[in-house]
Amino acid sequence: MVVFKISQKTKYSLSVIWIGLATLTTFCLGVYNPNKKPPHPHIIVVTLRDMGWDDVSFHGNPEIPTPNIDRIANHGVILQQYYTTPNCEDSVSSYRTGKHPIHYKKSMESGENARVTYDIWNYLDIQSYVIREVGLIDCKDTDIPFYPWDVIQKAENVLKQQDQIYSLFLQVNFPQLHADYPEQIPDEYLTRAKNIPFEARKIYAGMIMQLDRAVGHLVRILYDTGILHDAILIFTTLTGGTKGNNFYTWPSTYPFRGGNGTLWEGGSRALGFVYSNRIARRGRVSYGLVHINDWLPTIFRLAGGNPDHVVESDGMDVWDSINNDDYSPRMEILYGINGNKAAVRVGDFKLITGESYVPLSPRPLAKGELDNLIKPITVWDSELECADYPDAIGCWPDIEPCLFNVRFDPCERNNVAYYMPQTVEALTYTLNKYNTSAVYRDKRSLEEWDNTYKDLSLKLTLIKLEKSRKTLDRSKIGV
Ligand SMILES: *[C@@H]1O[C@H](CO)[C@@H](O)[C@H](O)[C@H]1NC(C)=O
Ligand SMILES: *[C@@H]1O[C@H](CO)[C@@H](O)[C@H](O)[C@H]1NC(C)=O
């Protein structure tokens, strides 16, 4: 056996070289250097909690100006048919595991399948990403103050320390936007929101404006450190908007029906956009279907991995659709199944059943307010409008399932179930398929599972994943 012995002297000179290198690296950090390319793009995911579809000006709301967010969205790709789940916790687990909650929960409950639950960090870890997360995703309603600047400060530290020969995955979680703490909003923002006549909405608007400025600052740091040049930025909310008792108080899901916790469009149709100078066709609205499950395989592919190797995923790699306006591989969205309440979308059609009726809600503006406000300039087609259907049949899904063409009728005004019984039947079939799959995965034995994944290369990936799972010490990488 040959053993290499390093003499004391060599050790010394090696350490001198190391110190030299370290100093050099420190000097070179924080500036864009075209010779220092990460092997894969940096990926920055920004989660925005409690923000509604209509709380940004790029979707046409003239009430709350969001110039920084608009700039990124308008120069990137606005995901017009993007869905999360109706529930914050479910969305977080969907995003992290690439599994729909009906499958994720089952696999967590049954111990034997638990070993297939890898999350996005595991996948990025095998691609040798530097993984950082700042801010907490906290789905509970806590009384933590609104602290976007803390989050930005932490993100800044991470970005300034990043050596650009490594690929960075940074997740930035902005805090909840609850209108309960007016004292947390600097006067400056309240003054800017002074035209909003509803007190709680004014406070909420103040938070959004502060958040918008924080987002602008984040992009500025990304630019200054040169990271933006090789980065892909993904922005997502974690549910549709929240509907409180009073729609002047809370985020606005206009023009959709319902809010979080419901199976109406307002519950899961969410704010999402992507920015990168690598995007082939940007400055547009994308109509490709995207579900929050899709980020894991999509990000894994961007990180140089093979999205087909993602284990038991409900997600799909939707990058070609985002990047190049190709058709999205996704044809179906499962909004959720909760007892006899369920909704599914296939192509443009959505079937909703068991859910309680909710009325349409207007944009939260005071009477005549719109007349005094300048309409924001938006990318073509980014403001949704709902047609009037004078002869529309209403929808009470707790009495009878309803069918909508949500591409052209996103407000769920015109229930076409009566006219299209075959489509209702087809979608009911799809829904039942999902409903049984929730049980099916639960019952599958380990042997069956192994047969499904007998592909050798996949097994190798799994072994690598097992290894990385062991070496990943989260407490060390959390910031
Ligand atoms: C909707 O979101 C609000 C605010 O985050 C939360 O208080 C509420 O519990 C959520 N509702 C449901 C049904 O998830
Ligand atoms: C899903 O299946 C369960 C039984 O396994 C049933 O009770 C429930 O009503 C089904 N839901 C729908 C929406 O079909």
Q: How far is the CA of 434 from the centre of ligand 2 (A)?
A: 10
pLDDT value at 255 more than 70: yes
* CB of 109 shorter than 6 A to ligand 1: no
Q: How far is the CA of 197 from the centre of ligand 1 (A)?
A: 24
Position 369: which residue type? E
Report which DSSP code applies to 430. H
Q: Which residue has the higher pLDDT, 428 or 192?
A: 428
Number of residues that this document lists for the chain: 479
Q: 202-211, 409-418, 438-447 — which one is most confidently predicted on average?
A: 409-418
Q: Which ligand minimizes its atom distance to the CA of 433?
A: 2
Q: How far is the CA of 243 from the centre of ligand 1 (A)?
A: 8
Q: Rounded to an integer, what distance in angstroms lies between the CA atom of residue 336 and that of residue 101? A: 8
Q: Which residue has the higher pLDDT, 264 or 456?
A: 264
* CB of 52 shorter than 6 A to ligand 1: no
Report the DSSP beta bridge partners of residue 169. 43, 131
Q: Which ligand minimizes its atom distance to the CA of 175?
A: 1
Q: Indicate the helix (H) or strand (E) that contains 336.
A: strand 332-338
**Which ligand 2 atom lies nearest to the CA of residue 341?**
13
Longest alpha-carbon distance in the chain? 90
Instruction: Select from 292, 288, 239 the least CA-distant residue to 98.
Output: 292
Mutation to probe ligand 2, out of 435, 437, 442 (largest number of atoms < 8 A from CB)? 435
Query: Any residues with CB less than 8 A from the CB of 372 and at least 6 apart, and which?
Result: 195
Q: Indicate the helix (H) or strand (E) that contains 353.
A: strand 349-353
Q: What pLDDT shows up at residue 9?
A: 47
Q: How far is the CA of 65 from the centre of ligand 2 (A)?
A: 44
* CB of 141 shorter than 6 A to ligand 1: yes
Structure tokens at 18: 């190391």
Question: What pLDDT, in 10s, does the model give residues 297-320?
Answer: 999 999 999 998 887 789 999 999
CB 38 within 8 A of CB 162: no
Q: Which residue has the tokens 């995207």?
A: 290
Instruction: Select from 86, 402, 91 the least CA-distant residue to 258.
Output: 86
CB 43 within 8 A of CB 171: no
Average pLDDT in the 119-135 region?
91
Considering only CA atoms, which residue is closest to atom 13 of ligand 2?
340
pLDDT value at 454 more than 50: no
> What is the full DSSP assignment across 155-195?
HHHHHHH--TTS-EEEEEEEPP--TT-GGGS-HHHHHHTTT
Q: Which ligand minimizes its atom distance to the CA of 397?
A: 2
Q: Which residue has the tokens 């997740």?
A: 171
Instruction: Select from 474, 476, 472, 479 the least CA-distant residue to 128.
Output: 472
Q: What pLDDT shows up at residue 31?
A: 57
CB 361 within 8 A of CB 406: no
Structure tokens at 68: 């920084």
Q: Rounded to an integer, what distance in angstroms lies between the CA atom of residue 348 and that of residue 350? A: 7
Query: Any residues with CB less than 8 A from the CB of 260 and at least 6 apart, and which?
Result: 86, 87, 88, 239, 240, 241, 242, 243, 266, 267
- Binned at pLDDT 50, 70 and 90, residue 70 comes out as very high
Q: How far is the CA of 399 from the centre of ligand 2 (A)?
A: 16
CB 231 within 8 A of CB 44: yes
Q: Which ligand minimizes its atom distance to the CA of 428?
A: 2
3-class secondary structure, 451: helix
Q: What pLDDT shows up at residue 397?
A: 96
Q: What pLDDT shows up at residue 284?
A: 94
Average pLDDT in the 317-339 region?
94
Q: What pLDDT shows up at residue 182?
A: 74
- Four-CA torsion 43, 44, 46, 47, nearest 10 degrees: 40
Question: What pLDDT, in 10s, does the model give residues 197-246?
Answer: 778 888 888 889 999 999 999 999 999 999 999 999 999 999 988 775 55
Question: What pLDDT, in 10s, does the model give residues 376-385?
Answer: 878 888 889 8
Average pLDDT in the 259-277 region?
95
Q: Which ligand minimizes its atom distance to the CA of 338?
A: 2
* CB of 87 shorter than 6 A to ligand 1: yes
- Binned at pLDDT 50, 70 and 90, residue 11 comes out as very low
* CB of 171 shorter than 6 A to ligand 1: no
Mutation to probe ligand 1, out of 204, 260, 341 (largest number of atoms < 8 A from CB)? 260
* CB of 221 shorter than 6 A to ligand 2: no
- Binned at pLDDT 50, 70 and 90, residue 436 comes out as confident
Instruction: Select from 347, 305, 326 the least CA-distant residue to 81.
Output: 347
Q: What pLDDT shows up at residue 58?
A: 94
Considering only CA atoms, which residue is closest to atom 4 of ligand 1?
242
Q: What pLDDT shows up at residue 8?
A: 47
Q: Rounded to an integer, what distance in angstroms lies between the CA atom of residue 226 and that of residue 306? A: 27
* CB of 435 shorter than 6 A to ligand 2: yes
Considering only CA atoms, which residue is closest to atom 3 of ligand 1?
242
pLDDT value at 439 more than 70: no
**Which ligand 2 atom lies nearest to the CA of residue 432?**
14
Q: Where are the alpha helices (DSSP H) in 249-367?
A: 265-268, 295-302, 319-324
Question: What pLDDT, in 10s, does the model give residues 459-476?
Answer: 445 545 555 544 444 444
**Which ligand 1 atom lies nearest to the CA of residue 243?**
1
Q: How far is the CA of 435 from the centre of ligand 2 (A)?
A: 6
**Which ligand 1 atom lies nearest to the CA of residue 139?**
5
Considering only CA atoms, which residue is closest to atom 7 of ligand 2?
339
Q: Where are the alpha helices (DSSP H) in 271-377?
A: 295-302, 319-324, 369-372
CB 204 within 8 A of CB 250: yes
Q: What pLDDT shows up at residue 191?
A: 81
* CB of 342 shorter than 6 A to ligand 2: yes
Distance between the two ends of the chain, CA-based, in angstroms?
43
pLDDT value at 72 more than 90: yes
3-class secondary structure, 65: coil
Q: How far is the CA of 289 from the centre of ligand 2 (A)?
A: 26
Question: What pLDDT, in 10s, does the model give residues 75-119?
Answer: 999 999 999 999 988 899 899 989 888 887 544 454 444 444 678
Average pLDDT in the 137-166 region?
85
- Binned at pLDDT 50, 70 and 90, residue 338 comes out as confident
Position 78: which residue type? I
**Which ligand 2 atom lies nearest to the CA of residue 353?**
13
Question: What pLDDT, in 10s, does the model give residues 187-206?
Answer: 888 888 777 877 888 888 88
Q: What pLDDT shows up at residue 112?
A: 45
> What is the full DSSP assignment across 106-136?
HHHHSGGGGGG---HHHHHHHTT-EEEEES-
Neighbouring C-beta atoms of residue 184, cutoff 10 Å? 15
- pLDDT averaged over every residue in the chain: 81
